[in-house]
Amino acid sequence: MGIGANQMAGDFDVIEETPLLGDILDDIAERMPEEGILKAMEQSAHFLTESIVDAIYSLAKNPKGGLADSYEPELIDTGEEVTFGVFSDLIYAKTQDEGDTLTPNAPLKWMAYPHRSAKSYVGIRWPRDFPKGKLSFALSSHDPNGTAYLFENGREKPVFILKKKVKIPGLRYLDKALAIFDEDVEKAFDENVGIVFKKGGF
């Protein structure tokens, strides 16, 4: 998952038509140092990455860094234009941003997650990692059709909570990141473009 943008050296408002306009624009394109434009785009991509990281940490209740650390900037050359984007390879990045209702892959299955009192005890284990017969199943008295628990002898509270569906609220961190990005990157990009024009002899 990722977001990106196109960056152009400048916007040209044509006050009146001129047969020389095409030649002028071609001359500008030829004289502009490509490395300067790419530098500006690379800097913009890093600004956008920082904006995403800041947005995640400001919106998530208990951010652990995995989602924020997964986003990386990337320049993309399509042959006709060069764009930049920031992408995450985590499968749940979109869900964390937009929200979703998760359900088991099979109708008779449950989704499990550690009870808050057992998180450190469970660690990275799942119910299948416990020896057979170690955990006992119990339906919730308040929601028997949608919630159940897995208990272990010697522990008062459940080890795992089981759900038929889990609603994940969206953080909308990409919307906030773009707002931060728009505020910060324009000045930096304009500065780089100004250097590019100067090097091009304009």
Q: What is the pLDDT of residue 62?
A: 80
Question: What pLDDT is attached to residue 175?
Answer: 94
- What confidence score (pLDDT) does residue 111 get? 94
Model's pTM, two decimal places? 0.64
Q: What is the 3 state secondary structure string of the chain?
A: CEEEEECCCCCCCCCCCCCCHHHHHHHHHHHCCHHHHHHHHHHHHHHHHHHHHHHHHHHCCCCCCHHHHCCEEEEEECCCCEEEEEECCCCCHHHHHHCEEECCCCCCCCEEEECHHHHHHHCCCCHHHCCCCCEEEEECCCCCCCEEEEEECCCCCCCEEEECCEEECCCCHHHHHHHHHHHHHHHHHHHHHHHHHHHCCC
The mean pLDDT of the chain is 81
Residue stretches of the chain with pLDDT short of 50: 6-16
